[in-house]
Amino acid sequence: MPTVSSRLPVFPWDRLEPYKATAAAHRDGIVDLSVGTPVDPVPELIRRALTAASDSPGYPTVWGTAQLRDAITGWAGRRLGASGLEHGNVLPVVGSKELVASLPTQLGLGPGDRVGHPRLAYPTYEVGARLAGAEPVVFDSVTDLDPAGLELLWLNSPSNPTGRVLAKDELRSAVAWAREHGVLVFSDECYLELGWDAEPVSVLHPDVCGGSYEGIVAVHSLSKRSNLAGYRAAFLAGDAAVLGELLQIRKHGGMMVPAPVQAATAAALGDDAHVAEQRARYAARRTALRGALEGCGFRIEHSEASLYLWATRDEPCWDTVGDLSKRGVLVAPGEFYGPAGERFVRVAFTATDERVAEAVRRLS
């Protein structure tokens, strides 16, 4: 039986532990800007919905309640411009990372199949391919890919880690190319509501998909926009035939979003005010950190959206990580996201206002 180590790369965050210990030893404590985990409170209206649904002794359905499906289709129409979505076009999932890691397996991919993902990317795209025994392949431009054996294509806009936003014409070209070659597109859009210098667009927008959802699925999460990382609330929207197949597989696997979380998700998707409030918090933190980084010699690239600044001092990323850790500031080395990131660091602005202010003071 193949071991985990023979199938998967080393878990990247384990390599950061010595630098975390150095940062934690700072006399004024660590400022952890390495992981994009929310730190602000869960909005009260979401907690009320969770509490109201807490008496849920029976099994939830894998497809989710009608209320949840209505909330997803309504939000997607309002926010993504995805008109005409029906219940068959949506599917709740137990957090987006679970979906990314298990999707190639759920799709029945294996040896001989190929999974494409951006050259600089969230490492779980590669992990998901390897868990299925498929071959991960990287791309800079979708149209440069060899379509032979390519079964699944991951898009990611806004990008993790770079914050880059793909324009409508780039997305439209990628979707057209994939349809021409019979390749299924999954678009990771978990940061779509966190655009700063550009307005992110979904693959489900009619200007991108031509009003047809054939061969495309968008992945969305409430972890960032609603501070619900602890709830594992996410969903898919798009091609009803693909989602119908996944629904059957997930029924057999018992992949159910807990009923109280389903109720909380429906409440969150029905309210835009808390998203605007959280955006304002992140915008202020982003401005403060960007100014401090640029003031001490960093160059920021891309970073038009998402919860990160993609920063470089034109030196090996581990040198940057080591130097900042001595100041008590922990960041993620760009190498975690592929060799192309080896001279960058990813700086999250998900710390509290107090910790961000402390990081600015140390950088200044």
Quick: pLDDT tens for 240-299.
999 999 999 999 999 999 999 999 999 999 999 999 999 999 999 999 999 999 999 999
Domain boundaries, the chain: 4-41+274-363, 55-270
Does the global pTM surpass 0.75?
A: yes
Buried b (16+ CB within 10 A) or exposed e, 147-164: beebbbbbbbbbbbbbbb
What's the topology of domain 4-41+274-363? Answer: Aspartate Aminotransferase, domain 1 (3.90.1150)
The pLDDT assigned to 12 comes to 75
The angle that helices 317-326 and 17-24 make with each other, rounded to 10 degrees, is: 20
Residue 38 DSSP code: -
Distance (Å, rounded) from C-alpha 64 to C-alpha 11? Answer: 32
pLDDT higher than 60, residue 5:
no
Instruction: Name the token pair of 253.
Output: 């696997």
Which of these CATH numbers, 1.10.150.240, 3.30.70.20, 3.40.640.10, 3.50.50.60, describes 55-270? 3.40.640.10
**Across all residues in the chain, what is the average pLDDT?**
96
Average the pLDDT over 73-101 and give the result: 96
In this structure, are strands 90-93 and 234-238 parallel, antiparallel, or unpaired? antiparallel
Long-range contacts of residues 87-90, Cβ cutoff 8 Å, at least 24 apart:
87/63, 88/240, 88/243, 88/244, 89/213, 89/237, 89/238, 89/239, 89/240, 89/243, 90/64, 90/235, 90/236, 90/237, 90/243
Q: In a 3-state reduction of DSSP, which class is residue 92? A: strand
The pLDDT tens digits for 177-225 are 999 999 999 999 999 999 999 999 999 999 999 999 999 999 999 999 9
Cβ(203)–Cβ(175) under 8 Å?
yes
Residue by residue, DSSP assigns 159-226 as -TTT-----HHHHHHHHHHHHHHT-EEEEE-TTTT-BSSS----TTSHHHHTT--TTEEEEEESTTTS
Q: What are phi and psi of 233, to 5 degrees?
A: -115, 115
Neighbours of 54 (CB within 10 A): 11
